[in-house]
Amino acid sequence: MSRVLVTGGAGFIGSHLVDHLIKAGHRVIIIDDLSSGSRQNLNKKAKFIKQKVQHQTMPGIFKANKVDFVFHLAAQIKLQFSKKYPAEDAETNIIGSLRVLDAARQAKVKKLIFFSSAAVYNIQDKPLNKETDIILPEIPYGIAKHAVEQYIIKSGLKYSILRPSNVYGSRQGAFGEGGVVAIFCSQAAKNRASVINNTGHQTRDFIHVSDIAAGALKTINMAHNQVINLSTARETTINELYDLIYSLVAKKIKPIRGVYLDEQYRSALNNKLAKKRLNWQPRMLLAEGLKETYNWFIKKYE
């Protein structure tokens, strides 16, 4: 039984990862400041510490809890916020990450697993992005994630760096660019139309949070010192996504056509390395995952 610390463990992806870790028999410590996470997401079998990752007390927390492995997910996740307030974004996503990295080194943890992002890739590249593709992020969020990747690679610690595609599922907040599934499901659960910006032909690679958690769990013992995409390697248009979700609603609801936004047109990640190094592949079909997510929002609003 290992002691595993999860930063951002009260958040969307982090809380699902915590559940998987506990089910696998690990002792889990969660660090989260609850700025975007929720107490409702906390697993009662985990130890919870309310704390900002950029706080200087991090090394003491690691040592006191005799941490073996670290999953670092705590982050500022809003892409448009990072454009408008890059310094605030860097405070959490770079400085906070360096605090975690420093604490991990001092505590001599066995391994650090970092959740990076597909935003590190050059958005002009065509899918499917591979781990060896050109890294040229165009937004501060992606720049910060890539900077932390480099700090970790050069840290001397054993590591895995994960770059997930567009993750969706229960507990996701219905806001922000990455939460389009949650936004659509939330609106559909209220029998309201959702807004589709641009043409709706823009694509994303939607992967269920359970597949992400399962892949991440494997990195404790596998894929050492590697950067790995976690994805379905399939493109789905926003129009197709809308139709799949709203097919679950009793009455027909047409989308509201929105405005033009400066956003990536196509996005999907190659997942061959994850299949090879982690003996992993996504199992949740999109239609099934969307139905599960939609039903979660239905129960939430009951």
- Could you tell me if 77 and 36 are in contact, meaning their C-beta atoms sit under 8 angstroms apart? yes
Identify the residue whose tokens are 């809003």.
78
CA atoms within 13 A on the CB side of 121: 25
- Long-range contacts made by residues 256-261, C-beta under 8 angstroms, separation at least 24? 256/193, 256/194, 256/195, 256/196, 257/195, 257/196, 258/195, 258/196, 258/197, 258/198, 259/197, 260/197, 260/198, 261/197, 261/198
Identify the residue whose tokens are 């595993």.
4
Backbone angles phi, psi at 37, to 5 degrees: -80, 180
Is residue 182 classed as helix, strand or coil in its secondary structure? Answer: helix
Q: Which residues are catalytic?
A: 141
- Those residues whose C-beta lies under 8 Å from the C-beta of residue 124, and which sit 6 or more positions away, are none
- Could you tell me if 53 and 36 are in contact, meaning their C-beta atoms sit under 8 angstroms apart? no
- Give the Cα separation of 239 and 56 in Å (integer): 46
